[in-house]
Amino acid sequence: MKKALIILVIAALAATGGFAVRSYLNQQADANNPALGQIRPEFAAPDINGEYQNIKQYDGKLVLLNFWATWCPPCKHEIPAFIALQNEYGSQGFQIVGLAIDDEDAVAGFIEEIGMNYPTMVVQQAGIELARRYGNDQGVLPYSVLIDRDGRIVYTISGELSKKRARELLSAHGIKL
């Protein structure tokens, strides 16, 4: 019985350690991403009202481009933090833009339910190729890209972006916290 308890404790510690390492790695920049330093690719896509929006309309702003889907739990988990960040720093020229790799009806329902306050374009399956153009070669969701005011990709993250890390990035790029 004692041996089983020791094994159980060790297994629990290993699982916790694995989760901590994974969380840490997900908070790290994709430092070897070839998209870093490049001018952001241009694209246009429909929003939930079917009106085409072009990424160029956000030129001059610090843009957090976020690829997500309603069927992706980590995507849904980070969106409330993004809503808060948009509220807090939008007046300083910060703009979040969502790119939903999903069905238009599911996206519209989720946006209404959660109260998203930033533009979201529905890119469906074409979003996978668009995400690749922004450096997401592995097709990971969520995937976020920070674009500076000059249109250069300065940061990419595969996986969930925490509010704390997002604030650090915003501060490093001229947003007053």
Return the closest-CA partner of residue 119 out of 41, 75, 58: 58
The verdict on residue 133 lying in a domain is yes
Looking at the 3D structure of the chain, how many domains does it have?
1
Q: Decide if pLDDT at 26 tops 50.
A: no
CATH number for the domain harbouring residue 88: 3.40.30.10
Give tens-digit pLDDT for 57-92.
999 999 999 999 999 999 999 999 999 999 999 999
Q: Is 166 domain-assigned?
A: yes
Within a domain: residue 7?
no
3-state DSSP helix/strand/coil % of the chain, to nearest 5: 45, 20, 35
pTM tops 0.85, yes or no? no
Classify residue 8: in a domain, yes or no.
no
**What is the distance between the alpha carbons of residues 135 and 117, in angstroms, rounded to a whole number?**
26
Cis peptide before 142 (omega within 30 of 0): yes
- The string of pLDDT tens digits covering residues 124-170 is 989 999 999 999 999 999 999 999 999 999 999 999 999 999 999 99
Using a pLDDT cut of 90, give the percent of the chain over it: 80
Q: Which domain holds residue 168?
A: 31-172
